Amino acid sequence: QVHLVESGGGSVQAGGSLTLSCSASGAISGIYCFGWFREVLGRQREGVATVNLRPGGGTSYEDSVEGRFTIAKDNSRNTLTLQMNNLEPGDTGMYYCAAYRCFGTGAALSFTFYNYWGQGTQVTVSS
C-alpha cells in the first residue's frame, strides 16, 4: 500500500504564493509518476501538474498554471512539492497528491490513471 499525505494549504490573497508538500511512504518502490490535482465543488477533478521520475521523464502542466506552478520531488525525503506563485482566485480548490505505476517517460494529467491518493489540502485564493 502507498500512503500520501499532503500539507501546506491555506488562504492567500491573489498574487501570493503557497508551497504544497506531499509525503510518500509505503510500497513506493517502482512508482515513477506523481501528480497534483485540484477539485472544486461541482466540477470534475483536474490535473494541475504531473511528473515522471524516470531518466528522461518530463513534467506536464495544466494550461492555466503553466509558468506559475512548479512540481518537484525530493527523493532524499520522498516528498513531492508544488510551488504555486502568482495565485489567482481560479486556483481555489482542494488539492490532492496522487501516484500511479506508469510506463514510458510521460505522466498523465487525467485523474483516471492514478490509483493512490492523499486526503487533500485546501487552497483558497481571495481577490
pLDDT of residue 97: 97
Give the amino acid at 23: S
What is the mean pLDDT for each group of 10 consecutive residues in the chain (127 residues)? 96 98 92 95 93 92 97 86 97 97 92 96 97
pLDDT of residue 75: 75
- Cβ contact 50:71 at 8 Å: yes
pLDDT of residue 121: 98
Return the DSSP state at 107. Answer: -
Phi, psi of 46 (to 5 degrees): -125, 145
- Cβ contact 47:99 at 8 Å: no
